[in-house]
A and B are shown apart, each in its own frame.
Chain A
Amino acid sequence: MHKEVIIIGAGPAGLTAASQLLKIGVEVMLIDRNDLVGGQLTKQTHMFFGSEKQHASKRGIDILTMLDEKLKQYPNKLTVFTQTTVVGLYNDKVVTCIKDDRYFKLSADAIIIATGASEKSLPFENNDLPGVYAAGAVQTLMNVYGVKPGHKVLMVGSGNIGLIVSYQLMQAGVHVVGLVEAADHISGYLVHASKIKRLGVDLWMNTSVKKAIGVDSVEAVEIWQLDDQWQGIPGTEKQLEVDTICIAVGLAPLTELLQQIGAEVVYIRELGGNVPRVNKHYETSINNVFACGDVTGIEEASSAMIAGEITGIETALKLGYHVPNHTAKLTQLHCDLDTLRQGPHGSKIRQGIAKLGVQL
C-alpha cells in the first residue's frame, strides 16, 4: 500500500502531525505497535502540567480522546495500523512491518518518525530480578490494565515521572515505602514532591540502590547513601522489605529506525542521548524523512504536540501542498514552544537544542 505520508508512532507527536496533515488534505498512514493509540498518554491519569494552550490541568487520557476525535473526521484519508511494529525503514521510503505474525511492506512519499523514547535502566546487583520494573511499565500495568505491580514499592528517581508514578501507586492502593534520589535535591516539580511527602512517603536524597535481594523475584532492597561523587558509603546500608523496585531514572530516544536508514544521529546528553540531527523544519539528514516528539529529545507531551503540528505543516509544504498562512502559523507554534521551555525546568532542553545548533 502506498500513501503520501507514513507516520511511525501514534503518541501525542504522531497524532498531532497526522491531524495537521489530514486538515491540509494529505493522505496519512499511522502505525503503532500498541493496540491503543496515544503513546505515553494512554496511561496518564494525572492533570497535565504545561501551558493552558497545551491543555494543562487536563488529564493525559482526556487529551488523547480529544486528539482521537479530531482524526475521526477524516475516515477517507487516514489508515491506522495498530498492533503493528515497524521493523525496517529503507531509503526509498519503504517501511516493513509485522502484524499478527504477518510481515508486509508499506511505502510513502514522506515519513515522519515519532517513536518516542524507552526507559533507562540502572546498574545495581540483581537489577534483572522480576519485580524491578521501569516506572512507565508500572504505570501501564496499573492504569491501562488495572493490575498492581506488587504490594510494597521502592521508587528510584525524583523526576516528574518518579513523583507522579509514586502518587498513582498510592491511588491504586499500593504502599510506597520510600523514594531514593542520587542527587541532593528533588529533580521534578516540588508540588508533586510535597504531595507524596504529605501522604507519608519518605524521600531520601543522596541515596541509591546497592542491591536487590531475592531468588526468583524481589523480596527486599538494600539502599545506601552516596558521597558527593555519587559513590556508595559503606556502613550506611539499610534494608527495606519491598516486592517491587520502580526505576524512574530517565528516558532515551528510540532512534533505531533512523539509524537504520543512515540518518545522522548525534549524542546530546541534555536531550536524553542519541538524537537525529534535524533542521528547523524537523527534517532529518535524509530527504523527506522527518522526526518529532521525544525521539528528537526527551521533553513533554505538551511540546511533542506542538512539534507534531509543526512537522505536519512542514511535511505538507515539502510535498508541495499549499498551506494558507503557513508562515504566521509556524512562527506562532515556534513561539509557543519557546514559552514552554522558559523557566528553570526548561534550561536542560534549551542547552540541548543549543548544542544541536538549530532553532527548534
Chain B
Amino acid sequence: MRIRQHPILMFTEKQKIQFYYNGKQVYGYDGDTIASALHALGIKNLSHSIHLKRARGFYCAIGNCASCNMEVNGEPNVRTCITPLKKDMDVKQQVGKGRPYDA
C-alpha cells in the first residue's frame, strides 16, 4: 500500500526497519510511525474495544483519539499513530485495557 509515484511528493526508498507484530517478524521503513508501517502491510485492525471487543483501527492519526492504542515493548496504550517505528520493536494487538506494565 506504499505510494510509488506521486505528481508532487517524492517517496524514495528508505532504510528497512525490522520489527515484530504479534510475534511475527515484519518490516517497515525509516520515517514510519508504528501505525503507518502496519497499514502499509495491510494491517488495519490494531486493537479491540474494551467491552464489546469490536475491531479498532486508527482514526485521527495525530495523537488525539486513542483509537490506535497498542501494546509496544510490553507497555500498553501506546498511541501508535505518533510513535516512530524503531528497530526490533515488539508490537502487539492489545487485549482490553492492556496488561499492567512493569517498567
Residue in B4, B5, B8 with the greatest tally of chain A CB atoms within 10 Å: B8
Report chain B residues within 8 Å CB of A217: 44-45, 55, 57
Q: With A128-B49, A136-B60, A217-B55 known to touch, is A145 a contact of B6 (CB < 8 Å)? A: no
Q: With A137-B59, A145-B36 known to touch, is A173 a contact of B2 (CB < 8 Å)? A: no
Q: With A35-B84, A130-B46 known to touch, is A147 a contact of B62 (CB < 8 Å)? A: no
Chain B interface SS verdict (over half): loop
What size tier do the contact residues of chain A reach? Answer: 35 or more
Indicate if A133 sits at the interface (CB-CB under 8 A). Answer: yes
- Complex partner residue of B3 from A128, A130, A148, CB under 8 angstroms: A148
| A147 lies within 8 A of B36 (CB) | yes
| B61 lies within 8 A of A134 (CB) | yes
- Complex partner residue of A118 from B7, B56, B64, CB under 8 angstroms: B64
Indicate if B40 sits at the interface (CB-CB under 8 A). Answer: yes
Indicate if A221 sits at the interface (CB-CB under 8 A). Answer: no
Indicate if A83 sits at the interface (CB-CB under 8 A). Answer: yes
Considering the complex, give the chain B residue whose CB is closest to the CB of A143.
Answer: B9
Report chain A residues within 8 Å CB of B33: 145
Q: With A140-B62, A147-B2, A216-B55 known to touch, is A171 a contact of B7 (CB < 8 Å)? A: yes
Report chain B residues within 8 Å CB of A141: 36, 39, 61
Indicate if A106 sits at the interface (CB-CB under 8 A). Answer: no
Q: With A33-B82, A147-B1, A148-B3 known to touch, is A130 a contact of B57 (CB < 8 Å)? A: yes
Can you list 28 contacts pairing A with B, beta carbon distance less than 8 Å? A34-B82, A35-B82, A45-B9, A83-B84, A101-B103, A118-B65, A128-B56, A129-B55, A129-B57, A130-B46, A133-B57, A133-B59, A133-B61, A136-B61, A137-B59, A137-B62, A140-B62, A143-B9, A145-B32, A145-B40, A146-B2, A146-B3, A146-B9, A147-B2, A147-B39, A147-B40, A150-B1, A216-B45
Residues of B within 8 A of A (CB): 1-9, 11, 31-33, 36, 39-40, 44-46, 49, 54-65, 75, 81-82, 84, 103
Residues of A within 8 A of B (CB): 33-35, 45, 59, 83, 85, 101, 118-119, 121, 128-134, 136-138, 140-143, 145-150, 171-173, 215-217, 254
Known: A147-B39, A171-B8; 5 extra A-B contacts, CB below 8 A, are A35-B84, A128-B56, A133-B57, A145-B31, A173-B5
